[in-house]
């Protein structure tokens, strides 16, 4: 579970252990971007949100690069994207 890879903070973005996250990444994990903010999400097999936390741009870009995530731009919001296994 990705929650084991995260150092939670009371305020601001959480820190992600990118190496641990890479090992625990599944098709139920994704990164979302809205404007300049990144969010790490993990879903249950039924599509419910299990984890949804703000992460740094650096951690997000590292995960996107190392996991070869595919960007899917939102049809509704011009400043929103999701990065998923692809």
* Number of domains, the chain: 1
Contact between 74 and 81 (Cβ < 8 Å): yes
DSSP one-letter string for 4-62: GGEE--SSSPBEE-HHHHHHH--TTEEEEEETTEEEEEEE-TTS-EEEEEEE-HHHHHH
What is the reported pLDDT for 80?
96
Regions of the chain short of the pLDDT cut 50: none
Q: Of 56, 27, 30, 33, give the one whose Cα is nearest residue 41.
A: 30
What is the reported pLDDT for 20?
94
What is the reported pLDDT for 17?
94
What is the reported pLDDT for 29?
95
What is the reported pLDDT for 11?
84
**Range(s) of the domain holding residue 18:** 2-84
What is the reported pLDDT for 32?
96
């Amino acid at each position: 579970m990705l929650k084991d890879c995260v150092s939670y903070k009371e305020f601001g973005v959480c820190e992600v252990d990118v190496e641990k996250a890479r090992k625990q990444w599944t098709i139920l994990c994704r990164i979302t971007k809205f404007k300049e903010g990144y969010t790490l999400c993990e879903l249950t097999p039924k599509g419910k949100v299990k984890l949804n936390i703000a992460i740094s741009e650096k951690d997000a870009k590292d995960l996107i690069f190392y996991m070869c995530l595919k960007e899917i731009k939102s049809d509704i919001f011009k400043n929103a994207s999701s990065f998923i296994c692809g």
